[in-house]
Amino acid sequence: MKQRRLLVLDNQRLRPALHSLSLNAAELEPGAWAPGQFLHVLCREPEAHSPFLRRAMPIHRLDAGRLDLLVRPDELGHAWLARRRAGDALDVLGPLGRGFDLPGTPGHLLLVARGLGIAPLVGLADQAVAHGWAVTLLATATRPADAYPAAQLSPAIEYQVCPTDAALWDCTPAALAWADMVAAAVPPAEWLPLRQRIEAARLTLVSGFAQVWADVPLACGVGRCGACAIETTRGWRHACSDGPVFDLTEVTGL
Amino acid sequence: MIEPVELLAEHKHGLRLLSPVMAAAGTGVRPADAAGLGAVVVGTLTRRPHPPAPLPRLAESPAGLVHRLHVGTASLTQALRRHDWATSAVPVIVSIAGTPADCAHLARHLDETPGIAGIELRLWDRDADEALIVVSAAREASTLPLLAKLSPAEPDLLALAQDCVDAGADVLVIGGPLPAEVPALAGWLSGPALLPLVVPRVRQVAQAVDAPVIGCGGVCVPADVRAYLDAGAQAVQVGSAFLIHPFVQEIFATYNYPNPLKEDDQ
């Protein structure tokens, strides 16, 4: 729940509508975060009243005291964020939430991202590569000019951009067959199809095999208000504080 | 120096707030995280738990949000199982909702539960006739201080406020979200957009009815507290500001709010 003021170091425009905002994270201990966690960012002047709510920004990357956020200026809050410049201060809560669990024994990791869902997966890809995993990243971009630039990724990561969601799912069955673990950042409506594809490719979905990053609208971010409640096998849970990463076997009521 | 506010000096139990700034019902603030607040309203509790509303549950609107957050609430049994009310240094008021029979049942149980400073009846989404029956039922079931939370949108607010006091309410809370709609959903409007709407209603009630009044709606900064106190409220409840700052009470802690009762004496 820690509230901080983090300074913007750099605002890099990766694509016409895609920014990488680097923050000074020297005060964050390197081990104090996991890929999949997020910062809850106030995207307005503190005295202003709109847009009212904080924005949950997945930690895109964190290394050497720099924390990167991936920003697409497609709504008021994100547009405000994309206009920040070096030296501006951001009011943030976090890192918040439960991130991805990467098993100790390396193998093949399959990452599936729809649109900006790639943001929380890149940090996981970096960590997996560092621990000896073979990583494949499947992502979508409706126009090539919107795609996440391959140059931002470690050359060790196999990266494939699909033009449509349908094409994304066409790519997955083969990849699912060899994967030892799957992490997906796709909307909740896609969780059941993902589960069915895994069961088709591997006969059964075992706990620990697939984790999903729940992109559910958040309000408080700290497990109080109930806005992001999702149904799980353990009852109603908060995507913000019990997630945003959940095991795919755990989420129900889709 | 922030001074405590005694709302009910004549009441058997009294209702002493540590400061005029309370956490409103529905914020999810636990008493353990409430240090610095005058009191915390927990819940809203119902007799049986309700599942959360289907998605989408919220959408932003200018200076606020439209939401369906306050419907998915815990039952009294669930809340009692994990509560830390008895050991709380900050007074705990429990918000309840339901049929008159449910509210009587809940009020009776709360009456026997240690560590509770008062019961708040969530009446802002009820019609006036229902609201009065709930007040009477809760009054019969409990001797704890009873707070009636009424909607500033109620057309005949002054009459309802007086009737609630006559039916046994000790304190009037004027506020709570207003019915609203945006393209994504129909629900309730909360946030700073409410402040200029609720303040005049608080003033009307405070002038017309002989009972302590608490204002609730849009409080984000100390000047907003001042606006309610100047309108005749003795305290305020903070709701949506907790969505932005989990410890928003720190913003109010350094501000001096002279006790309005003492000001009257000057």
For chain A, the domains span 3-96, 108-247
Q: Does B199 reside within a domain? A: yes
Specify if B85 maps to a domain: yes
A150 to chain B, any CB pair closer than 8 A? The answer is no
Residue B184 placed within a domain: no
Per-residue pLDDT tens for B96-147?
999 999 999 999 999 988 889 999 999 999 999 999 999 999 999 999 999 9
The CATH number that applies at residue B215 is 3.20.20.70
* Pairwise CB contact (< 8 Å): A236 & B58: no
pLDDT by position in tens, chain B (length 266) = 578 999 998 888 899 999 999 999 999 998 989 999 999 999 898 888 888 888 889 999 999 999 987 655 667 777 777 777 888 899 999 999 999 999 999 999 999 888 899 999 999 999 999 999 999 999 999 999 999 999 999 999 999 999 999 999 999 999 999 999 999 999 999 999 999 999 999 999 999 999 999 999 999 999 999 999 999 999 999 999 999 999 988 888 766 655 444 444 43
| B42 contacts in chain A (CB < 8 Å) | none
Find chain A residues with C-beta within 8 A of B244's C-beta.
42, 52-54
Q: Identical fold at A3-96 and A108-247?
A: no
B60, A53: Cβ pair inside 8 Å? yes
Structural domain total, chain B? 1
pTM: 0.91
Does residue B59 sit within a domain? no
Residue B57 sits at the chain A interface (C-beta within 8 Å): yes
Q: Does the distance separating the beta carbons of B67 and A216 come in below 8 Å?
A: no
The pLDDT tens digits of the residues spanning B223-247 come to 999 999 999 999 999 999 999 999 9
Question: B65 in a domain, yes or no?
Answer: no
Q: Which residues of B touch A50 (CB under 8 A)?
A: 60, 62-63
Rg of chain B's alpha carbons, rounded to an integer?
A: 17
CATH of A3-96, one of 3.40.309.10, 2.40.30.10, 2.40.160.10, 3.40.50.300: 2.40.30.10
CATH code for A108-247? 3.40.50.80
Question: Contact A53/B193, CB-based, under 8 Å?
Answer: no
Chain B contact present for A217, CB below 8 A: yes
In a domain, residue B57? The reply is no
Contact A52 B63 (CB under 8 A): yes
For residue B185, being part of any structural domain is answered with no
Domain boundaries, position B242? 5-52+71-179+190-265
